[in-house]
Structure 1
Amino acid sequence: MTQKTKNNPLRITAFVDGRPGHEKQTRGIVNALARCTDVAVEYVPVGCRGVGREIGNWLRLLHVPLPDPYRSAGQGCDLVIGTGSATHIPMLLLKRRSGARAVTCMAPDFLLRRGMDLCFVPRHDGLAGDANIFLTTGPPGTATAGDHHDHHRGLILIGGVDEKSHYWDSFDIIQMVETIIQRYRSFSWTISSSPRTDPQTVDFLARIAENHDNVVFYRVEETPAGWIEEAYQQHGTVWVTADSMSMVYEALSASCRVGILPVRWKKQQSKFRNSIDYLVAERLVQTYEDILTDREMVARSSHLDEASRCAKEILRRWWPDRLP
């Protein structure tokens, strides 16, 4: 049931699937809503997708009278939100029970898309805008603009192997990292690996840190939750390998100057490649080729804050009296 007055909190039920990237998108919008209006939030874990779970969800959606494990969630909520396919049917079932508005990030399966009141979809996914499709410049996230960046500190974030999307060449990556460090010798550099970084690349990165007094390297298992968000706030410049697009958008949202280290894509056209082309064309990021030709880093001229854009779109549509 839709909230009638802004004097009461906007009641939100957020389904989360345990995947950090998905949860950041959901929490980013919820946090942005909380900056605009009072909210009361319930987070409901749904677990990973499984064949049995998926069949049960579809049967419930088709009104087969099966027990609903989330029946007690979202009592009287105004808004149900979630990211990731495992959240979609539980969201729609709650919408049906409560009359709440259902909002998701990324495009659900076609059969479920019509049931969503609003889908926040990155432009690089290639969908056209529609009544319930709101296009974003990359995914929303939890990173927020920082005003204490040290512009003589740089952060290098290394992705890794993904058999579906790109070829990974440790030697190429290490050569690019070395070139950047040499190009900006006056900087203090922090390098971090990711869960996909292969052991060979990790060893090379550790060796770079050993050989340079101005470089520190952290293995991903050494970085606790929240480390990356704090790092964005501290470093004025961030370089990210092109396969780690979520971190590119997080760094942009934190108002960092961002450069992209290229990888060799397996497909001529992909959403990641399209996304990079868009960011380069809009002069939002720097390319590695710019370094080779001595072009200076792009100065941050605008702040990317898609989480706030999404939150304000939700309020504009259904609760305009809650807009700041």
Structure 2
Amino acid sequence: MHIVYVSDGKAGHRSQALGLFQAMQRQQANATFEEVFINDLPIISLIKALFFSKNTLFEQAPNFIFGVGSHTHFRVWLLGKIFKKAKTVILMKPNLPIAWFDYAVIPEHDGIHADSHVIVTRGALNPIRNENRHQTARILIALGGSSKRHQWNQEKVLLSLQQIVEHNPDSEIILTTSRRTPAGFIDILKQQSSAKKLQICPVEQTPQGWIFEEMQKAEAVWVTEDSVSMIYEALTAGCRVGVVAMDRLKQDRITNSVDRLLEEKLIANVFDINLLPEGQVLQEADRVVHQITK
């Protein structure tokens, strides 16, 4: 089984495609993955290949063609016309008619109902799975920052961190940041008394894949609520998940999805690890593979 991934170069999009591919590998060990960037797939070249029946674009003919990101959709559709035996899969709500593709894998917060072309998932796909290596009383805190729907509130975040430390005196607590965490925040945090109980690992000092490994070892993960993808990654890793509240600039489908997780008690806005919900069994990528390969 050969998968061609039409890539726009964005790490978050690639993570989704890798999540689906790795789930395919677990089902079929000989599955192969070829990433092709959109700059190497000019539209005019694809149109020529379509009209002249030229299907030697890739190392081998694909069985599946994945696309994530709006600039990939038309290319995936054209490639589906060139490689008629391949199934086309868009890992988001496409900007073209859904029926143009074999499958669209769409997070439930987009409000699209499942049908023969649409697979609805809890959050975006990711390459994590629960490896059952969680260490009791090990906590990971992952900080985000301001976004188009959240405003960073330094005092609120500092207070939440203090509460987590105070409520979990016997826990090992590792804290990391993201590219959106305000510059200088770590220096301010280090001046707080609670910082003595924290292992602080700024994102700039962590290697690729570090946070996924930490999720495998943590019993619980606290995430600032702006980082929705990380909430789902922690759930997929099988961690108990808490959220650190942020000031909301607006209410929309993304903030509603966090509220829904809170209502369903899959995550909690508390500070004591013992009050967090038990870890979940979230295997969305494996579920999607089962549907698109049956």
Quick check: TM above 0.5? Answer: yes
The answer for the alignment partner of 1:189 in structure 2 is: 173
The one-letter amino acid of 2:20's match is I
Whether contact under 8 Å (1:174, 1:204) holds in the other structure is no
2:74 to 89, 92, 96: 89
Q: How many residues align?
A: 290
Aligned to 1:18: 9
What amino acid is aligned across from residue 194 of structure 1 in structure 2?
S
Identify if the C-alpha distance between structure 1 residues 175 and 66 changes in structure 2 by more than 3 Å, giving closer, same or farther: farther
Q: Which amino acid in structure 1 is aligned with residue 14 of structure 2?
A: E
Task: Supply the AA of the counterpart residue of 1:87.
Answer: T
Any stretches of 5+ residues in structure 1 without a counterpart?
1-9, 317-324
Query: Is residue 46 of structure 1 aligned with residue 38 of structure 2?
Result: yes
1:178 paired residue among 150, 158, 162: 162
- TM-score in terms of structure 2 length: 0.90
Identity of aligned residues (%): 30
Give the corresponding residue for 1:102: 88
Match of 1:257 in 2: 240
- TM normalised by structure 1 equals 0.82
Change (3 A) 1:47 1:184: farther
CA shift in 2, pair 1:27/1:11, >3 Å: same
Residue of structure 1 aligned with 2:289, choices 311, 318, 323: 311
Aligned to 1:320: none
RMSD over equivalenced CA pairs, Å: 2.6
Q: After superposition, what is the alpha-carbon deviation per residue over 1:239-267, rounded to whole angstroms, capped at 9, x for unaligned?
A: 00010011111111100000011112222
**Counterpart amino acid of residue 314 in structure 1:** I
Q: What secondary structure, in the 3-state scheme, does the structure 2 residue paired with 1:191 have?
A: strand
2:263 maps to what in 1? 281
Contact 2:4 2:36 (C-alpha < 8 Å) held by counterparts: yes
Residue 116 (structure 1) shift = 1.3
Deviations 1:129-161 (A, max 9, x none): 232111101111011102121121100000012
Letter in 1 for 2:36: V
Q: 1:298 aligns with which of 260, 277, 283?
A: 277
Match of 1:321 in 2: none
| Distance (Å, rounded) in 2 between the aligned partners of 1:156 and 1:213 | 15
Partners of 1:61 and 1:89 within 8 A in 2: no
Distance 1:176 1:211, change over 3 A: closer
Contact 1:121 1:127 in 2 (8 A): yes
Q: Distance in 2 between matches of 1:221 and 1:295?
A: 31
Distance 1:207 1:21, change over 3 A: farther
Deviation at 1:238, TM superposition (A): 0.2
Partner of 2:120: 135
Matched to 2:243, the amino acid is I
C-alpha separation between the residues in 1 aligned to 2:8 and 2:190? 33
Q: Assess if the C-alpha contact under 8 Å between 1:140 and 1:305 holds in 2.
A: no
Question: Which letter does structure 2 place at the counterpart of 1:41?
Answer: F
* CA distance 1:64–1:248, shift in 2 (3 Å): same
Inter-partner Cα distance in structure 2 for 1:271 and 1:22: 19
What is the deviation of 1:167? 1.6
Q: 1:74, CA displacement in angstroms? A: 6.0
